[in-house]
Chain A
Amino acid sequence: MSVDNDRVATGIAGLDAILGGGVFEGGIYIIQGAPGAGKTILGNQICFAQAAQGRNALYITLLAESHARMIGHMRRLKFFDENVIPDRMSYVGAFKTLEDDGLRGLLDVVRREVRTRKANILVLDGLITVHEKARTELELKKFIHELQTQAGFSNCTMFLLTSAFDADAHPPEHTMVDGLIELQASLHGRRSERSIQIHKLRGGWFMGGKHAYRITDTGHAIFPRTEALLETPSIWDSADGPMVPTGIPGLDKMFGGGIDTHSVTVVLGPSGSGKTTTSLQFLTGGPAGEPALFFGFHENPMALRVKAKSLKLPLTDNIDLMWRPQTEAVLDEVATDLLGTIRRNGVRRLVIDGIEYDTGNSRDRSCGYDTGAAAQRYQPNWSFRRRRKYHRAAACSTSFGKSSIDDDPQISRPPNGHEDASF
């Protein structure tokens, strides 16, 4: 991944990550998505982020909701700042001009307003209306071309919002603009998941594929696909170093002193076989004060503390407990949280409880190492299998993953039992 110096960060961290640092100054970009996808919020969020940096943003609406309603909705979001309106962020309606004077009139509004307000960022909300107003495809192309010229001359980066999208139709404006960003929603069972995809970014690298996002009270929270984000490891694997004690002397003996440093080990077994107990022993089995983390989807921290206490395993302050209920969470959001905590705390021992966790779309994800049929094959035995690490996610730590379900073609039963320690 390369980062270009002439990029303008949108100010939305996840979006800038998948854009490879941001869009290009003076470029023109389409943001499209079905009604309710969050285009208006994204457009406003970009404008307010720019205004917060002292830049000038202009939001022009065509056939969209009224400014009063829009501002009323935006006021509920944390990025909204009344103080920057109207000096650094202003709203202008141009539908009447478009109606009366056509595309030429709209271009005139854009030109004058960008110049008068010294706008660095422009959002034009309602490109579909321009589409409908254009009498011919050529007229639409000329409009986009002139807008592009204006954007270049004024060094104003423009975002055009539209709900129109037919992936097979390739509207003429798609070939002309500098970038195309699509907001989508898809169903996984009964659950809806939002995703954002960059289809095009002229002149620069971007992270392809779909990335999850949520709309929260802080606006769009975008989570780049973890496996794409960590495609290039920052640290190469190294199993050199002292063996890491598991906290269970008998197990360490069977492993020849412990498990490899910087390794990932999967703990398989049916409910009640002692996976959580083993994990707690691993977490508490390190040197005093060594940062450790239990990240789970099932048992909450209080339940874990009770269990640890009954086992006389002290969960001291260096052992952090993170719990994410297995409800509507987004896989990459979970990964972002997990990696953030690992980096922040300098975690050296990590347990992930419940890597069978299924977001509904995990089948098309390559981030996992999954445990499936293996668990079934090994039942009712409780098995440990030593594996080399696969994830950069755990590059700084030695980790355990615990699983009890699913099927996994990657894990095959060894020809003999020597590689596995079963008890």
Chain B
Amino acid sequence: MRTVLIVEDEWAIADWLEVLLSESAFNVLVAGNGREALDILHRETPDLVLTDFMMPFVDGAGLIAAMRDDARLRQIPVVVMTSLLEQVVRDRAGLFTAYLRKPFREAELMKIVGDIFPS
């Protein structure tokens, strides 16, 4: 079973994603911000990270930068979910796998997840 780490400071969205991905046969980890996500990443190596961008303590840009600095985490695909324009995120976060503009529909998310895990 693949593991997805959800990083989201809005609890309702995090809850919804957790239920959705659990029902889609993923093992789901949840962090409320980038700092909590880095704590989890110290001990876990998920197959995918879905992250918000504007968050307390460590934001999406900080999280992505920390992951890119770590050889173990560098290869993990990262999907940024945010209300910000994609270019704004690209200017601040550099490389990430996919961009999902909030608010999004379930099908949009599942398509991106399906593209990352075609099997």
Contact = CB atoms under 8 A, between A and B. Distances in A.
What DSSP secondary structure best describes chain B's contact surface?
A: loop
15 contacts: A67-B10, A68-B103, A69-B103, A85-B54, A85-B88, A86-B92, A91-B54, A91-B83, A92-B9, A92-B56, A93-B9, A94-B56, A96-B9, A109-B57, A112-B56
Interface in A85-112: 85-86, 90-97, 99-100, 109, 112
Interface in A50-107: 60-61, 66-69, 71-72, 82, 85-86, 90-97, 99-100
B55 interface: yes
A115 to B, nearest CB: 11
A92 B55 contact: yes
Interface in B39-97: 53-57, 59, 83-85, 88, 92
A113 interface: yes
Contact of B11 (A68, A85, A93): A93
Given A67-B83, A68-B102, A68-B103, A109 B88 contact: no
Interface of A: 60-61, 66-69, 71-72, 82, 85-86, 90-97, 99-100, 109, 112-113
A68 B83 contact: yes
A96 B14 contact: yes
- For chain B, give the interface size range: 20 to 34
B81 to A, nearest CB: 9
Contacts of B59: 86
A61 to B, nearest CB: 8
Contact of B10 (A72, A82, A90, A93): A93
B102 A113 contact: no
A71 B10 CA distance: 14
B99 to A, nearest CB: 14
A90 B56 CA distance: 10
Contacts of B33: 97
A373 to B, nearest CB: 59
A158 B13 CA distance: 26
Contacts of A92: 9, 54-56
Nearest to B8: A93
Given A93-B9, A95-B10, A66 B57 contact: no
B83 A71 contact: yes
B103 A96 contact: no
Contacts of B102: 66-68, 71
B85 A72 contact: no
Most chain-B CB neighbours within 10 Å: which of A60, A96, A97?
A96
B50 to A, nearest CB: 14
Given A66-B13, A72-B103, A109-B56, A96 B88 contact: no
Given A67-B102, A109-B56, A86 B84 contact: yes
A66 B12 contact: yes
Contacts of B14: 96
What DSSP secondary structure best describes chain A's contact surface?
A: helix
Which 4 pairs, one residue from A and one from B, show the smallest C-beta to C-beta distance? A68-B102, A93-B9, A68-B103, A93-B10
Most chain-B CB neighbours within 10 Å: which of A72, A93, A95, A109?
A93
Interface string B1-29: 00000001111111000000000000000
B54 A96 contact: no
Nearest to A109: B56
Contacts of A94: 9, 56
Contact of B57 (A85, A90, A112): A112
A86 B12 contact: no
A79 to B, nearest CB: 16
A371 B57 CA distance: 64
Nearest to A74: B83
Given A71-B102, A96-B11, 8 more contacts: A66-B12, A72-B103, A85-B88, A93-B8, A94-B9, A97-B33, A97-B56, A112-B56
Given A67-B54, A92-B9, A109-B56, A97 B83 contact: no
A69 B8 CA distance: 15
A76 to B, nearest CB: 14
A61 B54 CA distance: 12
Nearest to A59: B54
Given A94-B9, A95-B10, A95-B11, A66 B103 contact: yes
